[in-house]
Amino acid sequence: MKNILLILIGFFFFLSCTNNRNSTNASRENTDWEKFKLKGEVKSFREVKFLAVDNFSIISGGERIKHIYNKEVLFNLDGNKIEKNDYIPDGTLANRTVYLYKQDQLVEYNNYDSQGMLFGTGKFETDDKGRVLRLNYKTNDGRYNWSESYQYDNHGNLAEVKRFKTEEVIDTKELYTFDDNGNIKESEFHRDDKLVSKNGYNYDDDGNFNGLNFGDSAVYTYKYNYDAKGNWIKKIVFENSNPSGILVREIEYFN
């Protein structure tokens, strides 16, 4: 369950990859900086995940979590995500994803293995507003070919994701509702037209994600430490009030 939680945290922050990218230095709206809730001109950030150790109420970083990738995300000066690197716990590169843009619009991404060999490509279809409507992905060897479609609510928030087994046969469906600040309020995961899980999300007064009701099985809460720019650099995860995981983030700025 702990590992599933950490995957979910990363996944919901990366929902931003399907949104519009019409950005300028004068406005942060719709940039990946904004989607990641980053302050300042961030050049990159790197997250490392640890199991939490609770000794007499003093929580410190414990063993690095195995089988879960640590990630590094790089941005350009327009605030667009241009690269994501995944590392195994010993720091060895596992894979790299490079994002390609056309007129500030995300059009494609390429996956490379640790040796730099291309193994998969995702291509995006967009509407006249620049919103992504569909992602088509295939590997070089042809073993994996799948697609996703995206629908938005009246405020432009990503409200539905469908993954297809074939061109028309749906494998899974995810539904999202949002609060007035554009934060995810509730999510549902469906497989074969059956509800698998339903989750609720909580935020503090500053809009930071600080709680997840993971169905009926567990309640997760979060405690943050921040740098001088106001970006979090340490996140402690509590499962039913017990410390379970720690994310440590190193941030590099352009200025």
- Spans of all domains in the chain: 2-253
Half-sphere exposure of 71 (CA within 13 A, CB side): 15
Among the listed residues 124, 120, 128, the one whose alpha carbon sits nearest the alpha carbon of residue 107: 124
Q: What is the rounded average pLDDT for all residues in the chain?
A: 85
Global pTM value: 0.81
- 159-172 pLDDT, tens digit each: 999 999 877 789 99
Span 197-253, pLDDT tens digits: 999 999 888 777 888 887 767 888 999 999 999 999 999 999 888 888 999 999 999
Q: Quote the pLDDT of residue 130.
A: 78
Mean pLDDT of 9-15: 41
Given a cut of 90, whether residue 77 has pLDDT beyond it is yes
Report whether pLDDT(13) > 50: no
Each residue's pLDDT tens digit, 37-65: 899 999 999 999 998 887 666 777 777 77
Q: What is the pLDDT of residues 81-134, one digit of tens each?
A: 999 999 998 899 999 999 999 888 899 999 999 999 999 999 999 888 778 999
Look at residue 14 and tell me whether its pLDDT is greater than 50: no
- In DSSP terms, 75 is beta-bridged to 81
- Confidence at residue 25, expressed as pLDDT on a 0 to 100 scale: 40
Q: What's the distance, CA 254 to chain centroid? A: 22
Q: Are 188 and 161 in contact (CB under 8 A)?
A: no
Give me the pLDDT at residue 228, please.
Answer: 96
CB 65 within 8 A of CB 10: no
Q: Which amino acid is at 52?
A: A
Residue 196 has pLDDT above 80, yes or no: yes
Residue 137, CA atoms < 13 Å, CB-side half-sphere:
16
CATH architecture of residue range(s) 2-253: Beta Barrel (2.40)
Cα angle at 151 between 160 and 231, to 5 degrees?
70
Backbone torsions φ then ψ of 69, nearest 5 degrees = -75, 140
